[in-house]
Amino acid sequence: MQSHINARERISSPSDRTIEAVRRQVAAMASDVFKPDAAGNEAIMLPRVWDAETLLRSVPWLRHQNRDGRNIYIRPRGEHNLSLVDDLSRDSVLAMKQAGFAPAAIIETSPGNFQAWVKHPEQLSKELGTAAARKLAERFGGDPGAADWRHFGRLGGFTNRKEKYRDPQTGLHPFVKLIEADGAVYPEADRFLTGVRSAVEEERREREQRRRTIQPSQTARSTELKSIDSFRANPKYGGDGTRIDLAYAIYAAAHGAAEAEIEAAIRSRDLSHKGGERRQADYVERTIKKAFENARNRSLGR
């Protein structure tokens, strides 16, 4: 392939190549507004909200942040029509293409490791976008922890600053490479989204059934529902936040509290030790699900 590169391409500057990679990736993702972020070793993010033109003009600033040790990420702002599938092998990407899920953009984030942006024919709601991302990750071996509607992917043309990828001989970090960027909707879109919608509707029905099964009468619910702080102050839990969250969730579910109420109470403490936002959300979701199952079983005398 090197023999086909002309002299002009050989002498192009790293900045030129970065701008070209960003331009192609932005065009393939085809969003009006993006949220690029620069995150350092301590995961301190510098979020921005830019249109495509502003993003391209800001490449020098992003390169400066990258040289200072920050990783450069991007996603569309708000609800959109893309799903990110992270942590894919070369074989997984090939399997996606063969199954009718050819990505709109493929990025090699480190040697042999890929991210794929799959483009849907329509904008998806947050619920449907997360369900689609999870289904794609499950089917093609992607990272389930990165499967949600708002996850950031890497922006091509910059270096991957994770220490584990630094070359011990040269001290250099690998470039994030834009491999393909045709921006096309995948062939299996209609069939796939029909299945995802059915699964989301089924999950809604199950949640509603759980609520109906355990929901007490209005007179049975105390107007003075104990707060989660009373559980946190109870010495029997020994300050164990996970035990406290579950105990409160079970109590609240049994007394008719809505899932949103329980989630707000659990999130009233710092959950950053659980990981990023996706892992925090998974933790809260698992806790609430266990609580409603426990309350339902009790109401049925199990």
**Where exactly are the structural domains of the chain?**
2-191, 215-299
Listed range (24-33, 43-52, 141-150) with the worst mean pLDDT: 43-52
Mean pLDDT of the chain: 86
Distances, alpha carbon 53 to alpha carbons 21, 33, 94, 117, 223, in Å: 14, 10, 32, 21, 54
The pLDDT of residue 231: 93
- The end-to-end CA distance of the chain, in Å, is 67
> What residues have CB less than 8 Å from 44, skipping those under 6 apart?
none
- pLDDT at position 257: 83
If one looks up domain 215-299 in CATH, what number appears? 1.10.1240.50
* Vertex 221 angle, CA 220 and 225, to 5°: 145
CATH superfamily of 2-191: RepB DNA-primase, N-terminal domain (3.30.70.1790)
The reported pTM is: 0.70
Look at residue 222 in the predicted model and tell me its pLDDT.
Answer: 46
- Distance between CA atoms of 196 and 200, rounded to whole angstroms? 6
Task: Count other Cβ atoms within 10 Å, centred on residue 42.
Answer: 7
Q: Is the pLDDT reported for residue 10 higher than 50?
A: no
Residue with tokens 């919608």: 197
164 has which bridge partners? none
Residue identified by tokens 């050989």 is 10
The β-bridge partners of 177 are 108
**CA–CA gap between residue 60 and residue 62 (Å, rounded):** 5
Q: Residue 203: name the closest of 150, 251, 131, 252 by CA.
A: 131
Instruction: Tell me the backbone φ, ψ of residue 279, rounded to 5 degrees.
Output: -70, -35
Work out the average pLDDT over 146-167: 93
User: What's the half-sphere exposure (Cβ side, CA atoms, 13 Å) at 59?
Assistant: 19
pLDDT tops 80 at residue 122: yes
